[in-house]
Structure 1
Amino acid sequence: MSQKYVAKIVSLNAAAIGTKAHGTAEFIQNDDTLEIKIEMFDTPANTQHWEHFHGFPDGKDAQIATMDQDVNHDGFVDLPETEPVSGTTMVPFDDAPHQMNIPNDNYPVSDEHGHFSYQMRVPLAALRKKFKEVFGTDDLQLEKRVIYVHGVPESLQLPKTVAGEVGSYDAHVTLPIAVGKIEKD
């Protein structure tokens, strides 16, 4: 039996970054696979875009961040500012989501028009096993998650107040540019 989930992805930080990223995501969960399709438009061009679903390990319903989450009033909602409403980064949409290796260079890169599409078929047993190892449950609870798309060019001037360093990656990589609530279709 399969279950379909969708997300309408809307821009975040558009005024600060100069593009209004938007798109759609579709997740089809079958008995043994999770099929993921994401298509984005008007993202910063020629830029790698980290994308993940975020949520709360305790099953609390995650919500999308808005400019209301800009608690330090620097004009940007950075990754740490999303956590109170959206939870933590959970599953990456890279070349191996089931490995849950968040910081890497294997995410989609937008073209010169700011467009990219991502498709992946993920082995559900492997993803659930890793998810349980990290979060204590194997229930992905997609309807309680949000999807984030991240990434702006290094040339964009960010205030020193913008946080979000992950390993050797700085806030240019992790700055959210779009977000969507995942819902059952």
Structure 2
Amino acid sequence: MKIYRANIVPLNDQAIGTAAHGSALFVVNGDTLTVNIEMFDTPANEQHWEHFHGFPDGRPAEIATAAQDANHDGFVDLPETEPVSGTTMVPFNDQPETMDVPNDAYPVADANGYFAYTKVVPLAQLDAAFKKVFHDSELALDKRVIYIHGVAPSLNLPSTVAGEVAQYDHHVTLPIAVGKIEAVQL
């Protein structure tokens, strides 16, 4: 059994008015990956995309901080995270093993901004899809970071905030929390 953990800390909290935080636990046991994510103080009653990000070449990803606000608009948007965190890789939605990122199958926070996500993922299917998309790269959880995304559509974002994905605008993709995934037991 292999165990990985991430302490998820706020990102963009000054700009969005809430300090989303939580934790993630990843357990590889035989042919399954069990993912447990628990979040507090996220924007309430909103769907929150969650993924791990990283570099396909295996470089270790790092978490974005306010220092990544390259255009100095007060927000670290999705494109500004890429130099330190890499690209969106595996979604934590209703079927992570399909690697289908842009959809409406992510957790929704309750009225207090809380949500919990648990999913048992078939590891062989996830690994095959991951290798197909990222050209034989390994999952390498300890080289990845987890992001939680999403603010209310009513939040006034400057026109400089980017991050549209398919039909979803930057309100959906704006990072609100991030954590470095670290090995606990290998």
State if a TM-score over 0.5 links the two structures: yes
Q: Is the 8 A contact 1:129 1:138 kept in 2?
A: no
SS in 1 for 2:37: strand
Change (3 A) 1:70 1:138: closer
SS in 1 for 2:159: coil
Q: Is the 8 A contact 1:3 1:28 kept in 2?
A: yes
Runs of at least 5 residues in structure 1 that lack an aligned partner in the other structure? none
Provide the residue aligned with 1:118 in structure 2.
117
- Asked if 1:56 is matched to 2:70, the reply is no
User: For residue 82 of structure 2, what is the amino acid of its counterpart?
Assistant: E
Runs of 4+ in 1 over 6 A off after TM superposition: none
SS in 2 for 1:44: coil
- Distance (whole Å) between structure 1 residues aligned to residue 91 and residue 123 of structure 2: 14
TM-score by length of 2: 0.98
Provide the residue aligned with 2:40 in structure 1.
41
Paired residues for 1:1-150 under 5 Å = 2-137=1-136, 139-150=138-149
- Considering only aligned residues, what root-mean-square deviation do their CA atoms show, in Å? 0.5
Q: CA deviation at 1:138?
A: 5.1
Paired residues for 1:145-156 under 5 Å = 145-156=144-155
Q: Is the 8 A contact 1:128 1:138 kept in 2?
A: no
- Distance (whole Å) between structure 1 residues aligned to residue 84 and residue 137 of structure 2: 22
Runs of at least 5 residues in structure 2 that lack an aligned partner in the other structure? none
User: For residue 148 of structure 2, what is the amino acid of its counterpart?
Assistant: V
Q: Is the 8 A contact 2:57 2:137 kept in 1?
A: no
SS in 2 for 1:182: strand
- Distance (whole Å) between structure 2 residues aligned to residue 157 and residue 138 of structure 1: 38
- Distance (whole Å) between structure 2 residues aligned to residue 139 and residue 146 of structure 1: 14
Q: How many residues align?
A: 184
Q: CA deviation at 1:31?
A: 1.8
- Distance (whole Å) between structure 2 residues aligned to residue 159 and residue 138 of structure 1: 36
- Distance (whole Å) between structure 2 residues aligned to residue 138 and residue 120 of structure 1: 22
